[in-house]
Amino acid sequence: MMKLNEIARMIDLSCVQANSSISEIKEVAEFAIKYNCICTFALPAHTPLLVDLLKDYPEIKVGGVVGFPSGGSTTKAKVFEAKELLEMGVDELDMVINIAWLKSKQFELVKQDIRSVIETAGKTPVKVILECHHLSNEEIVKACELAAEEGVAFVKTGTGWAPTGATLDNVKLMKDAVGDKCEVKAAGGVRDLETLISMNKLGTTRFGIGIRTAKSIFENIKSESVNY
């Protein structure tokens, strides 16, 4: 049995599309407060607004996105962005892996890219976004192994900008690859409560979802607990 508040504490509410409006960001904050969601995200230019909206709710974290959404920024640019977001007051960082380096088997560059952001973050948790849609199963496993070696807090399926990302196969593959070295976050395809619960059974502990999906999920929970 899973309680409503337990589900909320696994949800990272995101408002990170290019056309996400200020009113939607405010809606995300209001929804997070209402249900006590664990974390919220906006694009970097709007992160200060989100921090301000949630300043009186320390139990609700604000996350920042690094190298988003392509992952193709230079490592130096990712480090600068991470520093700026930390100065804004974020509690977590979600960085996009350098997909081209990974696919080209430039593994030391991939590791250095991740390591540089982790070192900048200090005690702030870092999630590494793989963007699984663009990767083979072998590449997903390798990315998970590289990220886990560098000490990430989570590996994450996607940005939500690619056509797919969070699938049952992907999250199982990722969990099997990292074991207990780090956690798994699903984003980019979590559209309903059934999917969320199925992925949680496979070891996924965080879910990045947009406000409309969040409303649909919570409105479909008819009681304070869900059979699980």
pLDDT tens, residue by residue, 118-177: 999 999 999 999 999 999 999 999 999 999 999 999 999 999 999 998 999 999 999 999
**What is the amino acid identity at position 31?**
F
Q: Name which of 106, 108, 107, 130 is nearest 182 in CA terms.
A: 130
State pTM to two decimals.
0.95
Taking the domains of the chain in order of start, what are their residue ranges? 2-226
Task: Provide the b/e sequence for 81-114 (b: ≥16 CB within 10 Å).
Answer: bbeebbebebbbbbbbbbbebbeeeeeeebeebb
Residue 227 has pLDDT above 60, yes or no: no
Model pLDDT for residues 79-91, shown as the tens digit of each residue: 999 999 999 999 9
Model pLDDT for residues 20-76, shown as the tens digit of each residue: 999 999 999 999 999 999 999 999 999 999 999 999 999 999 999 999 999 999 999
Q: Check residue 131 and give its pLDDT.
A: 98
Catalytic residues: 94, 156, 185
Superfamily of domain 2-226: Aldolase class I (3.20.20.70)
| Residues 6+ away with beta carbon under 8 Å from 216 | 191, 192
Q: Check residue 222 and give its pLDDT.
A: 59
What six digits make up the tokens of 103?
């696919």
- Whether the CA torsion 189, 148, 101, 173 is positive or negative: it is negative
Mean pLDDT score of the chain, rounded to an integer? 95
How many angstroms separate the Cα of 21 from the Cα of each of 16, 25, 55, 131, 227?
A: 9, 6, 20, 24, 35
Residue 225 has pLDDT above 70, yes or no: no
